[in-house]
Structure 1
């Protein structure tokens, strides 16, 4: 019987991405759609606090080994903001366009050398039997542009310039983005943890 892993998300795109990334491990991956559970309020002050709360709550409710993540954008000039508020930076129910507009306003007149930023993802794997968690972090460094560029991404992707490729995240192919993204980098670390701790080494 393969190990069952719950991904604490109802986002089918995210679950597909994780399944694809972990498909060579002997595990069965399920999402929240397989259960009827109340929402978890993400009220932590850090990505780790939010990811831990989601993973621990869902693991205790289902009894399954659970993986949860929280991610967002950190801008150096803004002392790490928008951070955990990335999705609602311009207020509750804000669109990507609203959030991007607010970010550009806050960085108006700030020179390129001070517009450093990173996309950051913290993943937490919670084991309800042991009552312990393992966390990993993935990040992707870049610079915030003065104007959006590209149509392939979402969120802050059109403003996030990746010097290594000379393009914004929204100008990169999905294949390239999935290799260098903060989530992909965190996932590669969590894959090693699952392989070493929960599956038989080949």
Structure 2
């Protein structure tokens, strides 16, 4: 992981290096995630290209935190492409499940990335707990921006809410159809994408990144 002083997310991020306009690799093979990141980068003169478009391999996510996995993915993509690379590692943390699925959120969907299976697994685990068990949960998004020389800036965002069942909505991806953010009565899956982009965990991390590197 990079030195703690090199791009700490928070209210007043202080980036050491600024990102210049031009090509930027989005170090992800997840089409929904790439689509959201492209929309968020649109206003800043960045030309996003996904890791899938460049035929870059997906690294094993061996980190024990969201930040560590984001850094791992960004550094590999920057090294292989010779371009700055932005990686996102995000997931759903359910308080009653001790923070699971957490960094294993994608893996709970299995090799076929079937998030219907993942959502059902979360629900089954909650249903096995006492009826009074709370359904509080939060999404975390860690963004790591890496350059080919190994420099990294990182930022972490969060969105709190509660889980609902059954899943609702056709928008978004992943666990979005079962997550109702605080202050709302609809799931991420029911929200217009622009509304989600304005207040999600990914949007929170992006606000920090934009303030620091642009």
Report the TM-score when normalising by structure 1. Answer: 0.83
Whether contact under 8 Å (2:96, 2:133) holds in the other structure is no
Whether contact under 8 Å (1:112, 1:143) holds in the other structure is no
Change (3 A) 1:116 1:56: same
Which residue of structure 2 lines up, in the alignment, with residue 71 of structure 1? Answer: 90
> What do the CA deviations read for 1:75-113 (whole angstroms, capped 9, x no partner)?
111111001111222644352221111111111154566
Whether contact under 8 Å (2:170, 2:190) holds in the other structure is yes
Which residue of structure 2 lines up, in the alignment, with residue 105 of structure 1? Answer: 124
Which residue of structure 1 lines up, in the alignment, with residue 177 of structure 2? Answer: 158
Q: Give the number of aligned pairs.
A: 194
Whether contact under 8 Å (1:45, 1:84) holds in the other structure is yes
Tell whether 2:148 aligns with 1:128.
Answer: yes
Aligned counterpart for 1:119 among listed residues 124, 139, 156 = 139
Question: Unaligned 5+ residue runs, structure 2?
Answer: 1-19
Change (3 A) 1:21 1:161: closer
CA distance in 2, matches of 1:2, 1:174: 25
Tell whether 2:74 aligns with 1:55.
Answer: yes
Whether contact under 8 Å (1:150, 1:170) holds in the other structure is yes
What does 1:1-202 correspond to in 2, within 5 Å?
2-89=21-108, 91-93=110-112, 95-108=114-127, 109-110=129-130, 114-129=134-149, 131-195=150-214
Whether contact under 8 Å (1:117, 1:144) holds in the other structure is yes
Whether contact under 8 Å (2:140, 2:158) holds in the other structure is yes
CA distance in 2, matches of 1:110, 1:148: 21
SS state of the match for residue 168, structure 2? coil
Report the TM-score when normalising by structure 2. Answer: 0.79
- Which protein has the bigger helix share? 1
Post-superposition shift, 1:34? 4.6
Question: Unaligned 5+ residue runs, structure 1?
Answer: 196-202
Structure with the bigger RCO (C-alpha within 8 Å, sep 6+) is 2
Change (3 A) 1:112 1:55: farther
Which residue of structure 2 lines up, in the alignment, with residue 198 of structure 1? Answer: none
